[in-house]
């Protein structure tokens, strides 16, 4: 039976959109940096790469994967654009792995890229010939699940459906910030991050290497001082402090068949054991990881207790709280390095970034099995089971 081996992983630091150090670096440049680093780290001959699959969500269309291939001199490599909203990066990895398991490919690069700082703004033609601002909806608009207000559709609905309080989600947010800062201070992200060249005030360039979204000194008490985004809602929970950031980053992985890795003397970081993706009523978007995790674990023939480390993306902190409680996951092994609230959520890149980080965490813990999972706009959820090599 074929297995898909991850032989290299790389990501850029995560920047704060519009006001951070990556604000002038577009998604194409971020992708080129991450993909180039992953290939360099892999030991794979560039001539052996057969496809690049990259997620992109807010960049206006096109195929950044193919643009990246050409910009790196890989003219023989096609590219595929994937969009599953927040779960696009996971979808890209799953797509590449599926092609390898099917025997269609032996070597692929997969990941995601997002620059919310430089995202495209769209116009749509009216019947009268006018041009009006426009954005695609993730799902049909309803009062219970607004298409353009995820703080209600995901954050508040998840808290309400799971019976969570403002303190429940603030406690998780403070925990996440603390975990991210501790990981940064320990230098654990150093091996996964590739520097990005950023402009300096003097007109030169310098390497930028550190995630800038995490905040020091965050406590439940400081979070409690923030106003809720929807005071008109009874028992509202969502604030700027317990929601994901708006961010810029890219991440990439080189994935090969196990046979290719063995034949070329490559040392895999890990294997993709299984995955699951589900759709739910958009009202229940934040609960979608529950079904995705159950499906993925079922395909891997594993139980919740078999998993040694988890990351459940904090699109809003109500999501990991609800999911861990529903599935009986030990919260002490969830989001050990922070997640969307603290590290940030560069939409199409996040899923791939989670895989990169989980591989590092499994290595540090000398653990075998990890799961990454997230909800996605429109009422979707995805999960991926990783096995350390």
Catalytic site positions? 86, 345, 375
Q: Which long-range contacts (CB under 8 A, 24 or more apart) does 292-295 make?
A: 292/373, 292/381, 292/382, 292/383, 293/323, 293/327, 293/371, 293/373, 293/381, 293/383, 294/327, 295/383
Residue partners of 316: CB distance under 8 A and separation at least 6: 150, 151, 154, 155, 158, 159, 169, 238, 242, 243, 244, 286, 341
Give the helix ranges, DSSP H, for the chain: 27-42, 64-71, 88-101, 150, 157-162, 166-186, 220-224, 258-263, 288-300, 318-327, 347-365
Tokens of 128: 């009268």
Place of tokens 């990895």: 93
Phi, psi of 355 (to 5 degrees): -65, -45
């Amino acid at each position: 039976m074929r297995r898909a081996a991850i032989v290299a992983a790389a990501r850029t630091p995560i920047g704060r959109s519009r006001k951070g150090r990556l604000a002038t670096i577009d998604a194409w440049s971020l992708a080129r940096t991450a993909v180039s680093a992953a290939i360099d780290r892999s030991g794979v001959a560039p001539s052996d790469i057969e496809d690049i699959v990259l997620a992109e969500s807010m960049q206006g269309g096109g195929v950044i994967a193919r643009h990246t291939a050409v910009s790196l001199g890989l003219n023989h490599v096609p590219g595929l654009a994937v969009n599953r909203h927040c779960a696009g990066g996971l979808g890209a990895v799953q797509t590449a792995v599926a092609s390898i398991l099917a025997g269609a490919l032996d070597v692929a690069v997969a990941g995601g890229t997002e620059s919310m700082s430089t995202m495209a703004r769209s116009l749509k033609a009216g019947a009268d010939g006018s041009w009006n601002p426009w954005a695609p909806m993730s799902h049909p608009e309803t009062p219970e699940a607004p298409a353009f207000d995820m703080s209600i559709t995901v954050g508040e609905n998840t808290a309400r459906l799971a019976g969570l309080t403002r303190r429940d989600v603030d406690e998780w947010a403070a925990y996440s910030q603390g975990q991210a800062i501790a990981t940064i201070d320990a230098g654990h992200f150093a091996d996964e991050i590739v520097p990005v060249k950023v402009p300096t005030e003097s007109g030169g360039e310098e390497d930028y290497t550190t995630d800038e979204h995490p905040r020091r000194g965050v406590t439940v008490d400081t979070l409690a001082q923030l106003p809720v985004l929807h005071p008109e809602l009874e028992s509202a929970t969502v604030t700027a402090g317990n929601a994901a950031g708006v961010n810029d980053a890219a991440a990439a992985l080189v994935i090969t068949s196990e046979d290719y890795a063995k034949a070329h003397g490559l040392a895999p970081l890990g294997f993709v054991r299984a995955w699951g993706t589900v759709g739910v009523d958009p009202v229940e978007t934040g609960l979608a990881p529950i079904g995705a995790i159950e499906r993925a674990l079922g395909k891997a023939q594993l139980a919740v207790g078999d998993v040694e480390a988890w990351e459940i993306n904090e699109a809003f902190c109500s999501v990991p709280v609800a999911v861990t409680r529903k599935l009986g996951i030990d919260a002490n092994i969830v989001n050990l390095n922070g997640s969307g609230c603290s590290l940030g959520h560069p939409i199409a890149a996040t899923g791939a970034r989670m895989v990169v980080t989980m591989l590092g965490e499994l290595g540090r813990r000398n653990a075998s099995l990890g799961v990454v999972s997230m909800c996605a706009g429109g009422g979707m959820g995805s999960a991926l089971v990783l096995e350390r090599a």
